[in-house]
Amino acid sequence: MIEIVVGDITGLEVDAIVNAANASLMPGGGVDGAIHRAAGPELARFTATLGGCETGEAKIAPGFGLKARHVILTVGPIWKGGQGGEEALLASCYHNSCRLAEQEKLRSLAFPAISTGVYGYPKAEAARVALEALRQHEANFDRLICCCFSEQDAELYRKQLSEAGT
């Protein structure tokens, strides 16, 4: 079952947390900044060697100072009104992050609401895309978590889940 939790993703004790990174994989703001602060400077030193990341793709790094053993870095699309393939790219972020975790035999994985901060993706739409993608990977994990930063965001996820009848 997909779990909806409210809180700071940096505190989760899971095999991997997913970071909504930017294409350079260098520390930015939002959840990315929080993850880099909690992981420590080793994370940026490591991600600097990864050669960046395309939108919709994902890369993996150790968790360093985090409670999570790994960080999966994925780059969400910037919302430009919905005609630029944003939905497929956002779905790819979730699929490619799950595939990486599956390859690495990770059993617990937590996602933030990718693209819904400074990248401007409408939150309810993003929750629908996230849950549709994650449902296809649910069976491969012991815990698959959507970590929402506010109760209002979590409510959007719960609404999508109930509308989908799961």
At closest approach, how far in Å is the CB of 153 from ligand ADP? 6
Q: Which CB sits closer to ligand ADP, 105 or 143? A: 143
User: Within 13 A of 110's CA, how many CA atoms are on the CB side?
Assistant: 27
Q: Which of 46, 94, 111, 149 binds ligand ADP (CB under 6 A)?
A: 149
Query: Any contact of residue 119 with ligand ADP (CB under 6 A)?
Result: yes
Q: How far apart are CA 162 and CA 61, in angstroms?
A: 34
- Nearest 10 degrees: Cα torsion 130, 19, 150, 159: 10
40 DSSP assignment: -
Helices in the chain by DSSP H: which ranges? 30-39, 41-47, 86-103, 123-135, 151-163
The residue annotated as part of the active site, out of 8, 32, 142, 153, is 32
Q: Which of 2, 15, 16, 32 binds ligand ADP (CB under 6 A)?
A: 32
Q: Is 15 a catalytic residue?
A: no
At closest approach, how far in Å is the CB of 13 from ligand ADP? 14
Sequence-separated (6 or more) residues with CB below 8 Å from residue 138: 1, 2, 144
At closest approach, how far in Å is the CB of 78 from ligand ADP? 8
Query: Any contact of residue 25 with ligand ADP (CB under 6 A)?
Result: no
Active site residues: 32
| Interface ranges with ligand ADP (CB under 6 A) | 8-10, 20, 30-32, 34, 76, 112-119, 147, 149, 153
